């Protein structure tokens, strides 16, 4: 499969999946949970969190994470990388303005309980349906 084709297929999965799963590490054990809201630009993703959540505590101790996106046809994309807390107000506003749900948990975009992680991809893989192998997606 060509690099451009696999990238297009992977990006299509990201557009279709509204609740990807995020894997973090706690000590020597993996922790996985669905996350929302998530904003994706290319293969970089931003994930909102509460400052008091286990997810936030785990990322602060070990910033290596993986997001798994799955479409209804079972195609999936896995984005492995580093989660970096961002204080960039434009990025925070972008996520804040996209998701009304955030106003249920936070007073404003500047609420110190509102944490936004930028997931910087180091490796992206695509798998068609319940395929037995992954295609590397060029970054």
Contact indicator for 79, 124 with CB cutoff of 8 Å = yes
pTM of the model: 0.93
pLDDT at 37: 74
What is the pairing mode between strands 21-26 and 44-50?
unpaired
pLDDT in tens, 33-45: 999 878 999 999 9
Percent share of the chain, pLDDT over 70: 100
Give the mean model confidence (pLDDT) for residues 110-124: 97
pLDDT in tens, 41-63: 999 999 999 999 999 999 999 99
The residue ranking higher by pLDDT, 36 or 136, is: 136
Determine the Cα–Cα distance for residues 50 and 120; give it in Å rounded to an integer: 19
Question: Is residue 115 predicted with pLDDT exceeding 90?
Answer: yes
Q: What integer best gives the mean pLDDT of the chain?
A: 94
pLDDT at 36: 85
pLDDT at 80: 98
pLDDT at 1: 72
Cβ burial 102-137 (10 Å sphere, 16+ → b, else e): beeebeebeeeebbbbbbbbeebbbbbeeeeebbeb
Domains delineated in the chain: 3-130 (2.30.110.10)
Is the CA virtual torsion 117, 118, 124, 125 positive or negative?
Answer: positive
């Amino acid at each position: 499969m060509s690099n451009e084709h696999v990238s297009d297929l992977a990006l299509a999965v990201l557009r279709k999946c509204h609740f990807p799963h995020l894997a973090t590490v706690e000590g020597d054990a993996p922790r996985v949970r669905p996350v929302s809201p998530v904003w994706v630009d290319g293969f970089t993703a931003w994930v909102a969190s509460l400052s008091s959540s286990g997810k936030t505590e785990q990322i602060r101790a070990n910033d290596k994470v993986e997001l798994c996106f799955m479409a209804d046809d079972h195609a999936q994309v896995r984005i492995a990388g580093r989660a970096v807390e961002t204080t960039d107000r434009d990025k925070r506003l972008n996520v804040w303005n996209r998701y009304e749900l955030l106003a249920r948990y936070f007073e404003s975009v500047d609420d110190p309980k509102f944490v936004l992680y930028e997931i910087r991809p180091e490796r992206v893989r695509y798998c068609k349906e319940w395929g037995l192998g992954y295609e590397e997606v060029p970054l």
